[in-house]
Amino acid sequence: SQQGEEDPQALSIQEGENATMNCSYKTSINNLQWYRQNSGRGLVHLILIRSNEREKHSGRLRVTLDTSKKSSSLLITASRAADTASYFCATGNTDKLIFGTGTRLQVFP
């Protein structure tokens, strides 16, 4: 059962622009994680936001969480070609995570 749905499914931007991708989930959560996947590779953890947090920053990443709307967004500022990847949100209150369907981001030089 898919917990998260990312939107948009695909996003193309120019270097230097900001990229925003959204995640909606279905049930209550303790926290939400974002992962990145380079083409043909495994996923890498980016950031976690707890349910009592509304916003969190890490470098060029900004994550927001709205538990009333059951949604989260990931903003990548001043994007670079190296940010080209798929991005997934993941929820889970224990050891097991449920991943969304992902947003494919393409950043053109």
Partner 1 sequence: DVKVTQSSRYLVKRTGEKVFLECVQDMDHENMFWYRQDPGLGLRLIYFSYDVKMKEKGDIPEGYSVSREKKERFSLILESASTNQTSMYLCASSGPVPLAGGSYEQYFGPGTRLTVT
Please count the other Cβ atoms lying within 10 Å of the Cβ belonging to residue 88: 23
| Residue 2 found at the interface with partner 1 (CB under 8 A) | yes
- At 29, give phi and psi (nearest 5°): -135, 160
| Residue 28 found at the interface with partner 1 (CB under 8 A) | no
Shortest Å distance, C-beta 4 to partner 1: 8
How buried is 34 (Cβ within 10 angstroms: 0-12 exposed, 13-18 middle, 19+ buried)? buried
Residue 51 structure tokens: 């349910």
Shortest Å distance, C-beta 86 to partner 1: 9
Select 19 or 65, whichever has its Cβ closest to partner 1.
65
| Residue 102 found at the interface with partner 1 (CB under 8 A) | yes
Instruction: Map the footprint of partner 1 across residues 33-72, applying CB under 8 A.
Output: 33, 35, 40-45, 48, 50-51
Whether the CB-CB separation of 12 and 33 falls below 8 Å is answered with: no
Residue with tokens 């279905």: 26
Binding site for partner 1 (CB under 8 A): 1-2, 4, 9, 30-31, 33, 35, 40-45, 48, 50-51, 88, 90, 92-102
